Amino acid sequence: MTDTVDTAQTGQAADVSDLPDDVILRVSHLVKEFPINKGVFFKKQVGAVKAVSDISFEVKKGQTLGLVGESGCGKSTTARAILRLLEPTSGDVWFRSDTLDTVVNVATASKGQLRDVREDLQIVFQDPYASLNPRMTVSSIISEPLTVHDEGDKKSRVDEVKSLLKVVGLQPEHANRYPHEFSGGQRQRIGIARALALNPSFIVLDEPVSALDVSIQAQVLNLLDDLQAEYNLTYLFIAHDLSVVRHISDRVAVMYLGRMVEISDNEQLYDSPMHPYTHALLSAVPIPDPTIEAKRERILLEGDIPSPANPPSGCRFHTRCPIAVEGKCDVDEPQLEELEPGHWVACFYPEVKNVF
């Protein structure tokens, strides 16, 4: 966990010769803006929603990076821009592809390259009710990636589907059923099987358990753990639930309004968080223990998250920050700095705080 961010901040992103062997993904200066247009016939861009502004991070092979933040912070946009499901406005996404046996810049890759890279780079979506086509059988849903990438013949695909169903804890007999015949947890297992079909090395999990009941959440989290160990998978785990992220992640990155405010190893982030937003976020998460809850002091933030179309000047958090300093935080924008080994914070006045 040494130069996670500074290479991305100082070095020329086009050069990846320094990409350590154990790093599978390097996101560098990623920007995604959505234009705001006005006018019906003569469309004119009058502004932009700055969903993701200059985000840089790395993910090591076999590890899980948790990306947390509240709605509108840009975490899902980041995920989609990494996969090129959304076209990034600028920035690079370096990915070490097993299929191509080289490092590819996903952000600028050609269509053909992108197709190959996606054998290694898969995604599981949040809503298992919306992400499975209701008119396709489970078998055709899971084998679709195989068909698209022309893997095997019909017979081998059928066998593959059956073995994938077993891997995610479903029965091979389920192959000919439709999504509506399954519960939420089972559907999420189908989504995971589909993502596994091409034997990827990297999976983006976009709020994979948020729509599930607690008892089912634990089942899916355990499954994800098992799969990671068995297939040496790397995860980018996006969630708003900080306790789930604590359980599953090796490293955690916190986003606020399109910017990354803090990134560090799991333990450090939870035991000694330094950014005032991270403090507020952690202190707001309820703990299922009445004795602890009775003693806890909540840091209540004022107001609501500002619009990403018109983010505040200086530090984007200064409008709600309990320790903001006038004349500094509203003027200058803090950059991520490594304050402890592997612990990066974007704040002019960082301090370690225990929030439990």
**Contacting residues toward another protein, per CB under 8 A:** 70-71, 183, 185-186, 213-219, 221-222, 225, 240-244, 246-247, 266-267, 270, 280-294, 296, 298, 300-301, 304-305, 356
Q: How far apart are CA 147 and CA 163, in angstroms?
A: 16
- Secondary structure of the chain: what % helix, strand, coil (to 5)? 30, 25, 45
Closest to another protein by CB, 159 vs 267, is 267
Closest to another protein by CB, 118 vs 320, is 320
Strand bridging mode 337-340 / 343-345: antiparallel
Alpha helices of the chain — where are they, by DSSP H?
Answer: 6-10, 75-82, 111-117, 138-148, 154-167, 184-196, 214-231, 242-248, 266-271, 276-284, 290-295
Q: Where are the beta strands (DSSP E) in the chain?
A: 23-38, 44-60, 64-68, 90-97, 102-105, 121-124, 202-206, 234-239, 251-256, 259-265, 337-340, 343-345
- Cα torsion 216, 219, 225, 231: sign: negative
> Rg of the Cα trace of the chain?
21
CB of 258 to another protein, least distance (A): 15
CB of 62 to another protein, least distance (A): 15
Q: Would you state the structure tokens that stand for residue 255, as one six-digit string?
A: 């986003």
Closest to another protein by CB, 40 vs 294, is 294
Closest to another protein by CB, 22 vs 267, is 267
Closest to another protein by CB, 90 vs 222, is 222
CB of 237 to another protein, least distance (A): 12
CA angle 78, 71, 243 (to 5 degrees): 90
Query: What size, in residues, is the chain?
Result: 356
Token pair 């195989």 in the structure block, residue: 146
Token pair 């076209």 in the structure block, residue: 87
Closest to another protein by CB, 336 vs 355, is 355
Closest to another protein by CB, 29 vs 246, is 246
Distance from first CA to last CA of the chain, Å, rounded?
A: 26
CA atoms within 13 A on the CB side of 228: 22
CA atoms within 13 A on the CB side of 39: 8
CB of 187 to another protein, least distance (A): 11
CB of 256 to another protein, least distance (A): 10
Q: How far is residue 283 CA from its own chain's centroid?
A: 22
Closest to another protein by CB, 159 vs 304, is 304
Query: CB–CB of 245/75 below 8 Å?
Result: no
CB of 217 to another protein, least distance (A): 7
Closest to another protein by CB, 64 vs 122, is 64
Q: Would you state the structure tokens that stand for residue 289, as one six-digit string?
A: 């223990």
CB of 39 to another protein, least distance (A): 23
CB of 305 to another protein, least distance (A): 8
Closest to another protein by CB, 45 vs 243, is 243
CB of 80 to another protein, least distance (A): 20
Q: How far apart are CA 203 and CA 286, in angstroms?
A: 29
CB of 150 to another protein, least distance (A): 36
SS3 124: strand
